[in-house]
Amino acid sequence: MTDQGILARRFEKARPRLVAIASRLLSSTADAEDVVQEAWLRLERTDADGIENLDAWLTTVVSRLSLDALRAPRRAREQSWHVEPWLDEPSAITDDPVEEAERSDHLSVALFVVLETLSPAERVAFVLHDVFGCPFEEIAVALDRSVDAARQLASRARRRLQGAPAPLRPRPEHARELVNAWLVAAQQGDFKALLGLLDDGAVLRADYGTNTQTLQGAQAITEQAVLSARLAAHSTPILIDQRPGVAAVLNGRVVSIMAFTILHGRIARLDVLADAARLKHLDLSIVTHD
């Protein structure tokens, strides 16, 4: 029987790579850590003597768990949020989203937006093969597909990514101007101004705790925004997972935060968290501190 201490040490040695894989699949370090921890629990319940290649086995388990998470309808609600102040002079950041992804624990917004155009299976095949160099035989096991099917999924993902326009991260000063313009237009109920800030295919996803809401298109989002003048009047710009965003504060309490994804000079996506239970678990002291 494999010694548990040896097994734990081998797992810890593999952990950084497993977290990196899950982070790139799920675009969330917190979710990745949960997936990797679940992989360890499954390993503890498994007869390790029957595992021929532990690294391959762990990659398969982490990939399958990530695939389940990507397919889960509640995934958008469970993403992690890290809030920080938006300084007048933000620290310098790289203009290369791939380089930033490699030196951080999660994907940059730009690279995440591109990868999100893929299906869960395409995303797993592409990330495992093109980013981590996993053989298609291993990917096929993770996806429960044939080797040829896994190869086709990666090839299809590659073509889709090559054909997609590369979204560039907006310069901090431009993002701040856009967020400020959004708040002013929302406060004034300026329908035309709000419409002009949004991409035609923009999407808004909101988590209210008891229910979620998805709005498609600039028109629908603008109609909702004009009803939020009071929140806009009490909102302050912040950074959310390095994305431009705003926090709405009423009576000294943060009631919602909203993260913007900006592509080609317009707002392409808005993610709203207004679930009081989840907001209580975030460090929002930088917003409410006097």
Question: What is the tens place of the pLDDT at every residue in 57-116?
Answer: 999 999 999 988 887 755 444 455 677 777 654 333 344 433 443 434 333 444 555 676
For residue 43, give every residue at least 6 positions away whose Cβ sits within 8 Å of its Cβ, in sequence order, or none: 7, 11, 57, 58, 61
101 close to 107: Cβ distance less than 8 angstroms: yes
pLDDT digits (tens, 9 = 90+) for 22-48: 988 887 777 888 899 999 999 988 888
129 close to 137: Cβ distance less than 8 angstroms: no
Cα distance between residue 273 and residue 279, in whole Å: 8
pLDDT of residue 1: 45
Cα–Cα distances in Å, from 96 out to 89, 168, 281?
Answer: 20, 8, 32
Quote the tokens at residue 116. 């999100």
pLDDT of residue 265: 85
Q: Output the CA angle 99-67-153, nearest 5 degrees.
A: 75
Per-residue pLDDT of the chain (290 residues; tens, 9 = 90+): 457 888 899 999 999 999 989 988 887 777 888 899 999 999 988 888 888 899 999 999 999 999 888 877 554 444 556 777 776 543 333 444 334 434 343 334 445 556 767 888 999 999 999 889 999 999 999 999 999 999 999 999 888 777 655 554 556 678 889 999 999 999 999 999 999 999 888 889 888 888 888 898 999 999 999 998 888 999 989 888 778 899 999 988 899 999 898 887 889 889 898 988 888 877 777 776 55
Residue 134 per-residue DSSP state: -
What SS3 class is residue 112? helix
pLDDT of residue 169: 54
Which neighbouring-strand residues pair with 190?
A: none
Taken in order 161, 271, 247, 174, the sign of the CA dihedral is: positive
pLDDT of residue 89: 42
pLDDT of residue 73: 57
Nearest Cα to 75, choosing from 30, 43, 141?
Answer: 30
65 close to 39: Cβ distance less than 8 angstroms: yes
pLDDT of residue 77: 42
Residue 98 per-residue DSSP state: H
Quote the tokens at residue 47. 């007869």
pLDDT of residue 191: 94
Cα distance between residue 165 and residue 215, in whole Å: 23
**pTM score above 0.85:** no
pLDDT of residue 112: 59
DSSP 148-213: HHHHHHHHHHHHHHHHS--PPPPPHHHHHHHHHHHHHHHHHT-HHHHHHHEEEEEEEEEE-SS-EE
- What one-letter code names the amino acid at 86? W
For residue 157, give every residue at least 6 positions away whose Cβ sits within 8 Å of its Cβ, in sequence order, or none: 118, 122, 123, 125, 126
